[in-house]
């Protein structure tokens, strides 16, 4: 991505993120309180984060691929099952993936 586009992503994300926060502090309480909106809103982080795991872990451009990152994610999953804290999960995944990358 070009430097200009990176700035657009940065400033666009910041502007929208802040607007959403300010909206919450500014609208009457009964707004945004429909049950449907609440249900969908609770599920959005789960769907998006799941898609991001897949997009970052198993995709190169528009192809689904299995590579060294899978080893890292498998270790991350094991660490999460073992109730490891977040930094341990991330570092263990990185170390494993790097090892497989160099061995390969």
Partner 1 sequence: MPPRSTVRDAFSVSLTVGVYGVAFGAASIAAGFSVLQSCLFSLLTFTGASQFAAVGVVASGGAAASAIAAATMLGTRNALYGIQMAPLLQVKGIRRITAAHITIDESTGVALSQAPRGSEAMRAGFWLTGVGVFVFWNIFTLLGALGAKTLGNPASWGLDAAVPAAFLGLLWPRLETTFLRLVAVASMGFALLVTPLLPAGLPIIVTVAVAIAVGWRPR
Residues 24-53 that bind partner 1 (CB under 8 A): 24-27, 29, 31-33, 35-36, 38-53
Alpha helices in the chain (DSSP H): 3-26, 35-57, 68-81, 86-103
Scan for tokens 């990152």, then name that residue.
Answer: 69
The C-alpha atoms of residue 98 and residue 104 are separated, in whole angstroms, by 10
- Give the shortest CB-49-to-partner 1 separation in angstroms: 4
12 touches partner 1 by CB under 8 A: yes
Size of the site for partner 1 (CB under 8 A): 77
82 touches partner 1 by CB under 8 A: no
- Give the shortest CB-76-to-partner 1 separation in angstroms: 4
The values of phi and psi at residue 71, to 5°, are: -60, -45
63 touches partner 1 by CB under 8 A: yes
């Amino acid at each position: 991505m070009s430097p200009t586009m990176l700035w657009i992503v940065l400033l666009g994300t910041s502007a929208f993120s802040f607007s959403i926060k300010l909206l919450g502090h500014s609208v009457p309480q009964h707004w945004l309180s429909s049950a449907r909106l609440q249900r969908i809103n609770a599920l959005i982080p789960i769907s998006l984060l799941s898609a991001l795991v897949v997009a970052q872990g198993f995709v190169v451009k528009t192809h689904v691929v299995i590579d060294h990152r899978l080893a890292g994610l498998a270790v991350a999953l094991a660490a999460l099952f073992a109730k490891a804290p977040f930094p341990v999960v991330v570092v263990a995944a990185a170390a494993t993936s790097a090892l497989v990358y160099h061995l390969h």
